[in-house]
Amino acid sequence: MVPMSQLVAWGILCGLALGVGLWSIVSALPRLSRPHLSDRVAPYIVDVSETARSFIARRTVDPLPLFGAFFAPTMTRVRRGIAGLLGGSESIERRLRQSGSSATVDAFRGRQLIWSALGFGAGILLVVAAVPLQPVPLVLQVALPLVAAVCAFALKEWLLQRSASARLRRIASEFPTVLEFLTLSLSAGEGILDALRRVARTSSGELSRELGLVVSEVNTGIPLTQALQRLARGIQLPLLGRCIDAMTGALERGTPLAEVLRAQAQDARDESKRALIELAGKKEVAMLVPLVFLILPVTVLFAIYPGIFVLQAGF
């Protein structure tokens, strides 16, 4: 067996990366030939023709789907093992729903594994680059790629949690305005479904998009109360959950819905004020840090230094 030097190994790795990159670029280029009749007809009869479905699902020349199909069984087993180790996928599914992502739990776990592989590769590259400069202990050489992989895996989940929290804050900030818009539409004589449809059509924002999904579900035959309850269970925002409970109760008992929504909007504004006051109380303590360690020492310095300078100059 011919020994492989480090330069040859790097050459093989760079050659593989260059080949995959060129393959991806060539596969993304538009074809210069005119499309065949079968290419234009097959998408329209895919639901009734098995031949059209097999024609649409033919193999692609893009390398990434090919690699995905090649490693799909292994990735599936790894995703199941991670789900069992971390205690299921309910929290991930909830955060995906709260963040507004359309990805499934398996797709998210697959992305986490890709991030872990990239972190592992970055750790290996760091070790390989550091070894010629300074000897690295063997334990550190083994631990650094593993730690990088774990950190990349946790970073992906933290980014999802951050995205979900940011979207919930946006929904909470839009909530009083949307309720007032609904109250105005109901006071003008529209029904609750027409009011929801108007809000979803004329306004923009995360809550309006969620209400548009509720209207779409109602158009498919799902009852309005059931669609609203599914929205509350999916978002799991206490403010929205209380409002939907009040709306469903008013619809069942025949209570005037405009007054209920107006009261909910006022409660939402009062709660936002209380949250703002609590945040200001917490920031007040944090603002003492620059006051004590920056502003106060500079003030004392400007007050004392001239006197010290005059005393030194006089003696």
Mind spelling out the 3-state secondary structure of 126-166? HHHHHCCCCCCCHHHHHHHHHHHHHHHHHHHHHHHHHHHHH
Report for 99-113, 230-244, 253-267: range of highest mean pLDDT = 230-244
CB-CB contact of 251 with 225 (8 Å):
yes
Indicate the average pLDDT of the chain: 78
pLDDT tier, 159 (very low <50, low <70, confident <90, very high otherwise): very high
For residues 215 and 102, what is the distance between their CA atoms, to the nearest angstrom?
A: 18
For residues 269 and 21, what is the distance between their CA atoms, to the nearest angstrom?
A: 53
Does pLDDT of 53 surpass 50?
yes
For residues 108 and 83, what is the distance between their CA atoms, to the nearest angstrom?
A: 11
Written as six digits, the tokens of 12 are 């093989």
Written as six digits, the tokens of 112 are 């986490």
Mean pLDDT across 75-87:
58
In the three-class reduction of DSSP (H, G, I as helix; E, B as strand; rest coil), residue 5 is classed as: coil
Percentage of residues of the chain with pLDDT beyond 90? 4
Does pLDDT of 4 surpass 60?
no
CA dihedral 82, 85, 87, 93 (to 10 degrees): -10
- pLDDT at residue 75, as a whole number: 56
pLDDT tier, 163 (very low <50, low <70, confident <90, very high otherwise): very high
Does pLDDT of 84 surpass 50?
yes
pTM of the full predicted structure?
Answer: 0.66
Mean pLDDT across 168-179:
88
pLDDT tier, 270 (very low <50, low <70, confident <90, very high otherwise): confident
Report for 50-59, 81-90, 299-308: range of highest mean pLDDT = 299-308
pLDDT tier, 93 (very low <50, low <70, confident <90, very high otherwise): confident
For residues 146 and 21, what is the distance between their CA atoms, to the nearest angstrom?
A: 27
- pLDDT at residue 162, as a whole number: 92
Does pLDDT of 239 surpass 70?
yes
- pLDDT at residue 61, as a whole number: 45
* 306-314: long-range contacts, CB 8 A cutoff, minimum separation 24: none
